[in-house]
Amino acid sequence: MTNKKKLFGTDGVRGEAGAFLTPELATSLGRAATGSLEAARPQVLIVRDTRESGPMLEAALAAGIAAAGGDALLGGVLPTPAAAILAKRLGLDLAAVISASHNPYRDNGIKFFSGEGTKLDDEAEARIEALLEADSAAAPPGRVRELNGGLEDYLRALEAAFPLDLSGARVVLDCANGATHRAAPAIFERLGAEVEAIAAEPDGRNINEGCGSTHLDHLAARVAASGAAIGFAFDGDGDRVLAVDGAGRPHDGDELIVLAARGMATRGELDGGVAVTVMSNFGFHRAMEEAGIEVAVTGVGDRHVLDELQRRGWVLGGEQSGHIIDTGFVATGDGIAAALVTMRELGGCDLSTAVPMEKLPQTLVNVEVAEREAVAGAAAVWEAVEREGAGLDGRGRVLLRPSGTEPLIRVMVEAPTTKEADAVCERLVSVVRQELS
């Protein structure tokens, strides 16, 4: 493909609802995505998170699908991975998720999954963008109808894949006032756990607000105060998870992947190594080396991780941020499934002592900039990155990259001490602000 993508970022089309992501754009995306399919009457599932703009964009997207001759099936509020599972199990042609993941409620997004339950690749997204600019041929209108039972189908899939007995386990679940607010408590209770759900009362505007996987303080305090053994925090659309142990200490995606990889390797279920992104901590790589488990490194984004897993025929991978993929269940990040994987590997042990990994201190700063793509030509920034990286050679590392969805430059430093990591990061942030803000 020669067409360069303009709308699709790391994880779909995302921006401020009503300003960037308008109903008109959603309708056009629905029409173009449906028009890109070969089926005579495409069947397209739509699910969404709990943002107040969700119903508006759902209606607009469905209108575009129907205008292109497809049937829009409205699944309502469901976690992102449920869309992937339902698309494959029901033999649908496409699934669309309306969500901006961990972003504030004012933002929203649209991302697509194929009928095989995988995120669309770059070429498929480029075809959709090309069709946005083309004159669409008239088609007999399709229908818009409700898809009932989607939540129950998703819960049954989880229960079948993770037949755990969690009787006696006390668990706190932070549902980020988002798409997991029904599904996560329901599956843990079905498996016998005593569940306390927090941030499980969405009002359209409180999604991710001081809660969820990007704000662990509330969960940590609640777990420590309640005497629960463990807590899990999901993001707004439910495709990522982080954990806190019984003392309220946080554990990120790297640590949960290490735990899962060690257990799966012991049982002969790993089928190779693990795939992670450039953001994974140096301590992760050291733990995998000690366990004799091969690691493949990809660019940021769970889609890149999945591509690498499929290329190698591996089953497990993910991101430090909490996107964890077990392709034996679904070919995308699933926060609830990852939480159940963690419970399976713990087998009643305390998370604080079960993770065989010592993290190198890491400092990450998001720098707001006018134009994130401008970093590619900022010579002074890359000279500073090279200089600071050389100073940490063999002891740590520097990573600087633009966000795929926001006007931010992410500056990450790992060093033997927090003090050194902070100092290096501060110097780099200063250069980025001077050159790009």
Catalytic residue annotation: 101
Q: Compute the distance between CA of residue 253 and CA of residue 267 in angstroms, rounded to an integer.
A: 21
Q: Compute the distance between CA of residue 415 and CA of residue 116 in angstroms, rounded to an integer.
A: 41
Closest CA to 357 of 293, 271, 413: 293
DSSP secondary structure code for residue 377 in this structure: G
Strand order in the sheet with 13-16: 13-16, 107-114, 94-98, 43-48, 71-77, 144-146
According to DSSP H, which parts of 351-392 are helical?
351-354, 379-391
Task: Please provide the DSSP assignment of 72-125 as one string.
Answer: EEEEEE--HHHHHHHHHHTT-SEEEEE--TTS-TTEEEEEEEETTS-B--HHHH
Would you give the distance in Å from CA 280 to the centre of its chain? 15
* Cβ neighbours, 10 Å, residue 58: 24
Supply 285's token pair. 């790589």
Q: Compute the distance between CA of residue 102 and CA of residue 369 in angstroms, rounded to an integer.
A: 20
Cα–Cα distances in angstroms (integers) from residue 71 to residues 61, 78, 92, 112, in the given order: 11, 19, 10, 15
3-class DSSP assignment, residue 15: strand
Q: Compute the distance between CA of residue 126 and CA of residue 27 in angstroms, rounded to an integer.
A: 17
Supply 15's token pair. 């921006």
At position 316, the amino acid (one-letter code) is L
Supply 250's token pair. 């946080």
